[in-house]
A = this chain, B = another copy of it.
C-alpha cells in the first residue's frame, strides 16, 4: 500500500466526447505481457517520484502474472497500451472473505481525458462483482481530483495513518531478544 500510490487518473468521462473511448479495449494481462507491465509500472512510479520502491523486474512479472490471485488489466486502442489497473485478491480476516486490492491505476499521459481511467475502474468492478468482493485501495492525500473521481464511482474514502516497518526498522528486535521474556519462550 505505502509503495503503490494511485496516479491521478485525470479521467472524468462526463466531459469526454462520446466517440473518444469507443476504440478502447480492456484485456487481462498474461505472462507474455511482463515487459509491458514492467514498463508501465516504472512510468507510474517515476510520475509519483517513487521509482526507488519498484523492485519487480520483468521476470518477476512473468511469474506474478501467472498467478490466479494477481489480475492486471490493460487498456489498449488495438495499437498500443494506454494504461493499466493491477489487482491482487487477498483475505480480509474480519470479513472472513477475500477483498480485491487495487494496487495501481494508471493512464499514460498521451491517453488522458478520454475516460480510460473510468473504463479501467469499471473493469475492476466487474472482476470483483461475481464474488461480491469489496475493492480496496489507497490514494495520495493531496490528489483531490482522484478523490472526487473515486467518490463519483461510489467508493467510500477515509483518511488514515498507514505504517510500514522495514527489516532495517526492526533490526534491533533481534538484539533485544535475549533480554526479552520471549527469548526463553
Output the least CB separation between A76 and chain B (Å): 11
Per assembly, the copies of the chain total 2
Q: Mark A126-164, 1 if CB is under 8 A from B, else 0.
A: 101100111111111101000100100111111111111
Q: Is the CB of B93 within 8 A of A91?
A: no
A91-B69, A93-B56, A95-B3 are known contacts. Are A161 and B147 too (CB-CB below 8 A)?
Answer: yes
Q: Are A103 and B96 in contact (CB under 8 A)?
A: no
The size of the chain A interface, using a CB distance under 8 A, is: 85
Distance between A125 CB and nearest chain B CB, rounded to angstroms: 4
Q: A3-B95, A53-B94, A159-B162 are in contact. List 13 more A-B contacts (CB 8 A).
A: A1-B160, A21-B181, A53-B95, A56-B94, A90-B90, A126-B182, A132-B167, A135-B164, A136-B162, A140-B161, A147-B161, A156-B163, A160-B162
Contact of A56 among B96, B122, B169 (CB under 8 A): B96
- A97 interfacial contact with B, CB 8 Å: yes
Chain A binding surface, main DSSP class? mixed
Contact of A1 among B53, B129, B136 (CB under 8 A): B136
Which A residues between 22 and 57 are near B, CB-CB below 8 angstroms? Answer: 22-27, 41, 45, 53-57
Pair B150/A157 contact, Cβ less than 8 Å: no
A window 111-129: CB within 8 A of B: 119, 122-123, 125-126, 128-129
- Please give, as numbers and ranges, the residues of chain B lying within 8 Å of A128 by CB-CB distance: 165, 167, 170
Instruction: Give Cα A180–Cα B165 distance, bound, in whole angstroms.
Output: 43
- Contact (Cβ within 8 A) A165 B155: yes
Nearest residue in B to A93 (C-beta to C-beta)?
B103
Determine if A177 is an interface residue (Cβ-Cβ < 8 Å).
Answer: yes
State whether B182 touches A26 (Cβ < 8 A). Answer: yes
